[in-house]
Copies of this chain bind each other. A is one copy, B any other.
Amino acid sequence: MAERIRLEKRVLSENDRLAADLAARFAEAGMFVANLMSSPGAGKTSLLEATAALLGEELRLAAIEGDLATDRDAERLRAAGLPTRQINTGGGCHLNAKQVAEALDEFRLDELDVLFIENVGNLVCPAGFDLGEHRRVVVSSTPEGEDKPAKYPVAFHKADCVVLNKMDLAAALGFDREAFLGFVRGLNLRPDIPVLEVSCRTGDGLDGWLDWVRAERRAALDGPRALPK
């Protein structure tokens, strides 16, 4: 078991080194990069479809899609006007920095303002792997129940933003919004972490998400990870 732990540490430190390279590339290109994590079916792709429709004329957007299999999500995003590269992980339960670096080679980075990395649908494993992103977004959804932050703390612990999707179903489900907020705030490192309540189906709340993307992009480009222009 000690051997396994040592090896995992080595894999992680190799990933950290590649993630630092990615962060430098993102900074040099003046791009803002967000890493989206969630359970399967929480609505990451729907959020990006809506973002493409609402923000695509204002900012130059692109996406990297992580899935075990199929390019269904990449096709959805391309149909929404978002240039997208699909990564299929086979059995892999998360994206790693090496995969992102390879996908990145297919983009002209200096022509992009924002890159969304949609991780494999998994509330556990992706949280352990830095992809060089500026911000981490966890998408949760009301049908999953209000206690997911407590039961899957690793994803929520270091999140910079929580998007709570499928609010259109909240009343029918008897979703306890206050309980959800309490779990998030009890776990997250930031007392003021934004929790953005949206419905990608109805469009409710998406303005708040777009404002968050705009503001975090500005902050990231001015922040310590960015190189001087």
Which positions in A face B, CB cutoff 8 Å? 3-4, 7, 11, 39-41, 67-70, 72-73, 91, 93, 120-125, 128, 141, 143-145, 147-148, 150-154, 166, 169, 172
Contacts and interface: CB of A to CB of B under 8 A. Distances in A.
A145 B7 contact: no
Contact of A152 (B40, B144, B147): B40
Contacts of A144: 39-41
Of A7, A144, A172, most buried by chain B (CB within 10 Å of CB) is: A144
A195 B144 CA distance: 21
Q: How many copies does the complex hold?
A: 2
A72 B3 contact: no
Given A39-B40, A166-B143, A69 B153 contact: yes
Given A69-B150, A125-B125, 15 more contacts: A40-B123, A41-B141, A41-B144, A41-B145, A68-B124, A68-B154, A69-B153, A73-B151, A91-B154, A93-B124, A93-B125, A122-B123, A122-B125, A124-B125, A143-B166
